[in-house]
Amino acid sequence: MNIRPITAADNVAMAKILRSSLEEFGLNIPGTAYFDESTDRLFESFQIEKAGYFVAEEAGEILGGAGIYPSEGLPSDTVELVKMYMSAASRGKGIGKKLMLKCMELAKSEGYQKIYLETMPELSAAVVAYEKLGFKKLQGPLGNTGHYSCSIWMLHEIV
């Protein structure tokens, strides 16, 4: 298994993983990444300063991905962990954790001190994984992500 930066050739596979994951949990609703205009062009969306997106690949198949993005309205020392999605078959194998650690490493190297994320109660396994990596729940959202259907907000302080 290889974790590498996303390429334009990965856009279709990642959009499919993202949308099928949300459909699986009944979260293909407005106010989620399902309807983000960037979902079909992840590679292009992450071609900005202090952002990055990684995919996990095995034998030429994309298993999932995650990225960091300086979302609008966040404090300058904070970046958002975004579009963290795994194919159903690749969940529970530690691949998501490796992707998150890669994102955390990039965030630190870019000078960020905190990583913010938004999620939903239906994705309880992800919430547990975030907590294991040191994310703590917040009382409300930070910034202006546009994901108004998310009701769990978490923050991790980079050491």
Q: Is the pLDDT of residue 83 over 70?
A: yes
Strand partners, 54: 5, 66
Quote the distance between the C-alpha of residue 143 and its chain's center.
Answer: 16
Question: What is the CATH classification number for the domain harbouring 107?
Answer: 3.40.630.30
Give the percent of the chain with pLDDT over 90.
70
pLDDT in tens, 55-72: 999 999 999 999 999 998
| Structural domains in the chain (count) | 1
Does residue 36 contact residue 30 with C-beta atoms inside 8 Å?
Answer: no
Check residue 147 and give its pLDDT: 67
Cα torsion angle, 114, 133, 11, 52, sign: positive
- The mean pLDDT value of the chain amounts to 91
Check residue 39 and give its pLDDT: 87
CA distance 7 to 114: 26
pLDDT in tens, 120-158: 888 888 899 999 999 999 999 988 776 667 889 999 999
What is the domain range of residue 36? 2-157
User: Coil, strand or helix: which one is 84?
Assistant: strand
Q: Which two tokens stand for residue 17?
A: 């993983």
CA distance 108 to 31: 29
Check residue 77 and give its pLDDT: 96
Q: Is the pLDDT of residue 86 over 80?
A: yes
Minimal CA–CA distance to 147: which of 14, 13, 22, 57?
A: 22
Check residue 94 and give its pLDDT: 92
For residue 18, the one-letter residue type is L
Check residue 90 and give its pLDDT: 93
Q: Which two tokens stand for residue 153?
A: 């907000």
Q: Is the pLDDT of residue 27 over 90?
A: no
Give the CA distances from residue 122 to residues 22, 28, 33, 138, 147, in Å, rounded to whole numbers and listed in that order. Answer: 10, 12, 15, 17, 15
User: Coil, strand or helix: which one is 110?
Assistant: coil
Q: Is the pLDDT of residue 30 over 80?
A: no
Average pLDDT for residues 3-21, to the nearest whole number?
A: 96
Check residue 31 and give its pLDDT: 74
